Amino acid sequence: MKFLTLILFSFSACLLLTSCQEEAVTKEEPQEIAPIRVAKIETYAPVVKKVAPAVVNIYAFHHEETKTLVSPYMADPFFKQLFEHLQENHGDTEDSLGSGVLVSKEGLILTNYHVIENADVVKVSLSNKREYNAKLVTVDKRTDLALLKIEDHDEFPYLPVSSQDNLEVGDVVLAIGNPFGVGQTVTSGIVSALARSQEGINDFRTFIQTDAAINPGNSGGALVTTDGRLVGINTAIYSKSGGSMGIGFAVPINLAIPVIDSVNHGGKILRPWLGLGVQSISPEDAQTLGLDHPYGALVKQVYPGSPADKAGIKTGDLILKMGGKEIEDDAALDYLVGTSPIGKKVNLLILTKGGEKTISITLTTPVNSQKSDALTIKGRNPLQGAKIREITPAVAFDFGINPWEKGVVITDVVTTGPTAKLGLQPGDILESINNKKVTTKEQAVNLLESSPNFWALVIRRGKQILTLQVKG
């Protein structure tokens, strides 16, 4: 039995996956193949010439301060506390290598978040070998995407970005990036599957699967069609050895459009939501409900005041279709909603206890409230200078948190402050302070101020629980 593992290349920032699951092969009667979308292509050179100038190499540098002991006795905690000022500071630089795609003539670059994660300095190199510094515009951990901007006023070659809904399994695609740091490389393959769901890469779990060779360093590179359309951002591969095995995944470009549009909203990514907690159904459930096969998203939670709540959707309803498109599972519903325009009115086909019915619903941004206003922590404590907010659907969307969470989240950290030195990050949830559960911003401040000499912090970061003890 093989096991599912997730590996992050330190030198290339490329995600790898291994899996034990094998897809069942079904035998069907041979059908006549319609002679459509068939073209004889003897070379991809014209499309490569068109696309390659817009694909860049990315070098991300992370400066990390370390301290060197000036005496062997400094390894002892007692002497270390007395003579900590005698330690020498050194700056170590760690770097990662990846790829990116220019998506505007002004120098906007789309790449993977894991390529530039924790980077202090980001440099990009174009196909003509010219190098530029780039600044971070925004990151979207939910899709593992990031948007950069070249710090120069030149005009750059770029690939136009538009919604891509006509991609089909079997279409020929090209993957362009910088594998293993050898320089820009092009590989070809076909679309192996669409809407492929994989846990652990991003929240939407919806990918284009391709057999075009994707290797370490390809992360953030372009997946294009033979007519030069940008359809995805290469992100992850299945692998046993670290190299390509013909199973690669790309984030669909439709998920990237709100990330690119964030440049018009001060870096804020705006996506619509329904206000639902849903799950897929089992074959047994499908049979009980009278469905010919398992499909749809079963409603488990409805957020009060959300678009779904206002439209009358109830717990236990089964969403079968959205806008006429069949909902395969919960991830498919998340994808359709997340890639729809804000303000769009859509029709949902729902199976309720009374039978099937169609509900019209308008997609809006997540609910916000005064609770989500940021509060800056002051005073002498481990979170000095950090900003905290209570979790609302809007805050949850910004930081990839479950909108049904209750509590307080760190939303901003001063890089030179004590919070950053403790390793805390935006998106970390304050579970407790000195063994007392934190539920509001004011409570967090009171607990920090009431203990001037010692703080026991419990932080939740995704599925991790971090316990910190800080002496004043």
When pLDDT is averaged across residues 276-280 and rounded to a whole number, the result is 90
Q: Please tell me the predicted confidence (pLDDT) of residue 21.
A: 39
When pLDDT is averaged across residues 99-125 and rounded to a whole number, the result is 92
The C-alpha angle 247, 250, 251, rounded to 5 degrees, equals: 150
> Do residues 210 and 192 touch, judged by C-beta distance below 8 A?
yes
Q: Say whether pLDDT at 128 is over 90.
A: no
Higher pLDDT, 370 or 441: 441
Domain boundaries, the chain: 1-21+45-268, 276-362, 370-471
CATH 3.40.50.10860 fits 1-21+45-268, yes or no: no
- Per residue in 63-107, pLDDT (tens digit) is 655 444 444 434 333 334 334 444 444 454 557 688 999 999 999
Higher pLDDT, 235 or 10: 235
Q: Say whether pLDDT at 148 is over 90.
A: yes
Q: How would you class 176 by CB atoms within 10 Å of its CB: exposed for 0-12, middle for 13-18, buried for 19 or more?
A: buried
Active-site residue, selected from the candidate residues 144, 211, 317, 398: 144
Q: Say whether pLDDT at 186 is over 50.
A: yes
In the chain, the largest separation of any two C-alpha atoms, in whole Å, equals 82
Q: C-alpha distances in angstroms, 1 versus 6, 19, 20, 305?
A: 16, 10, 7, 47
Higher pLDDT, 409 or 178: 409
Q: C-alpha distances in angstroms, 298 versus 76, 106, 280, 284, 378?
A: 58, 44, 6, 14, 45
Q: Please tell me the predicted confidence (pLDDT) of residue 204.
A: 59
Q: Say whether pLDDT at 178 is over 50.
A: yes
Q: Say whether pLDDT at 42 is over 80.
A: no
Q: Say whether pLDDT at 195 is over 70.
A: no
Structurally, at CATH architecture level, domain 276-362 sits in Roll (2.30)
When pLDDT is averaged across residues 279-297 and rounded to a whole number, the result is 90
Q: Say whether pLDDT at 199 is over 50.
A: no
Active-site residue, selected from the candidate residues 12, 99, 114, 244: 114
CATH number of the domain at 370-471, please?
A: 2.30.42.10
Q: C-alpha distances in angstroms, 45 versus 227, 228, 411?
A: 11, 11, 47
Q: Say whether pLDDT at 462 is over 90.
A: no
Q: Please tell me the predicted confidence (pLDDT) of residue 320.
A: 95
Strand 230-238 relative to strand 15-18, pairing: parallel
Q: Do domains 1-21+45-268 and 276-362 have the same CATH topology?
A: no
Q: Say whether pLDDT at 120 is over 50.
A: yes
Active-site residue, selected from the candidate residues 197, 219, 306, 432: 219
Q: Please tell me the predicted confidence (pLDDT) of residue 398.
A: 80
Q: Please tell me the predicted confidence (pLDDT) of residue 68.
A: 43
Helix axes 253-261, 330-338, angle to 10 degrees: 40
When pLDDT is averaged across residues 412-428 and rounded to a whole number, the result is 87
Q: Please tell me the predicted confidence (pLDDT) of residue 83.
A: 43
> Do residues 456 and 435 touch, judged by C-beta distance below 8 A?
yes
- Of the listed ranges 154-158, 362-366, 370-374, 442-446, the least confidently predicted one is 370-374
Percentage of the chain surpassing pLDDT 90?
38
Q: How would you class 290 by CB atoms within 10 Å of its CB: exposed for 0-12, middle for 13-18, buried for 19 or more?
A: exposed
Q: Please tell me the predicted confidence (pLDDT) of residue 244.
A: 52
Bridge partners of 188? 174
Confidence of residue 62 (pLDDT cuts 50, 70, 90): confident
Q: Does the active-site annotation cover 114?
A: yes
- The rounded mean pLDDT for the chain is 80
Q: Please tell me the predicted confidence (pLDDT) of residue 240.
A: 52
The C-alpha angle 451, 452, 457, rounded to 5 degrees, equals: 55
- Which of 407, 404, 366, 405 lies closest to 388 in space, CA to CA? 407
> Do residues 344 and 272 touch, judged by C-beta distance below 8 A?
yes
When pLDDT is averaged across residues 202-215 and rounded to a whole number, the result is 74
- The type of residue at 12 is S
Q: Please tell me the predicted confidence (pLDDT) of residue 180.
A: 62
Q: Say whether pLDDT at 390 is over 80.
A: yes
